[in-house]
Amino acid sequence: MGVREAYNQWAPTYDADRNLTRDLDALVTRTTVAAVPCTRILELGCGTGKNTAFLAQLGAHVHALDFADAMLARARAKVPHAHVTFIVADLTAPWPCGDQAVDLVVCNLVLEHIADLHFIFAEAYRCMAAHGHLFACELHPFRQYLGAQAMFQREQAQIAIPACVHHISDFLHAATHAGFRLTALKEWWHCDDQNAPPRLVSFLWEK
């Protein structure tokens, strides 16, 4: 099953399933992004709008992209605000966003599904105004080395969603190559993660 179809199938239970990674990401995003100055926000892979609801409180305009219709339908219902637009878009093709149109790009738990990081960082750089920020929070590759990946249960089957491993150096290299300057790199554990490698890694870059 491909990534888009998998998320369309996961959509009805994505918010309710037990998922410590999703919950930790929500906490990390709320504690980290609140301090970043922004008015125009672009969210990549918004899913069911878990973080869009928070971003809508921060920005005057929020533009949220995802390629899974069923995930987007849930996001639209959750965040029905006039200043938030949801658009069906594949992040591996040029994004429906103007040059220098936003001052914050946010990306959570998406990049494990995208092989070419260089394209993502180049598009983020193109869409971002000078001195804007890119915040990304992703499954830590240490977890992937141990076999973790996005998955969900359907009836008796465990469905693993196609994913690729990006090492920390891959993120840093692709971002630097696009022109970004790293301002923070943090590793995160859920309070239930005892003696385990970090669950998430977050990055804040500035243009």
Ligand X SMILES: C[S@@+](CC[C@H](N)C(=O)[O-])C[C@H]1O[C@@H](n2cnc3c(N)ncnc32)[C@H](O)[C@@H]1O
Question: Where does this chain bind ligand X (CB under 6 A)?
Answer: 3, 7, 22, 25, 45-47, 50-51, 66-68, 71, 90-92, 108-110, 113-114, 150
The Cα–Cα gap between 125 and 179 comes to 7
**Which is closer to ligand X, CB of 113 or CB of 207?**
113
Q: DSSP letter string over 143-175?
A: HHHTT---EEEETTEEEEPP-----HHHHHHHH
- Least Å distance, CB 15 to ligand X, is 8
Q: Min. distance of Cβ 195 from ligand X in angstroms?
A: 25
How many helical (H) and strand (E) elements, i.e. helices and strands, does the chain have? 7, 9
- Minimum CB separation of residue 184 from ligand X in Å reads 19
Q: What single string gives the DSSP state of each residue in 117-139? A: HHHHHHHHHHHEEEEEEEEEEEE
Closest approach, Cβ 111 to ligand X, in A, equals 9
Phi, psi (deg, nearest 5) at residue 197:
-65, 160
Which C-beta is closer to ligand X: that of 44 or that of 175?
44
Residue closest to ligand X (Cβ):
47
Q: What is Dmax (Cα atoms) for the chain?
A: 50
Which SS3 state, helix, strand or coil, does residue 76 take?
helix
Least separation in angstroms between residue 107's CB and ligand X is 7
Based on CB atoms, which residue is closest to ligand X, 108 or 144? 108
CB-wise, 65 or 178, nearer to ligand X? 65
When the beta carbons of 54 and 189 are compared against ligand X, the nearer one is: 54
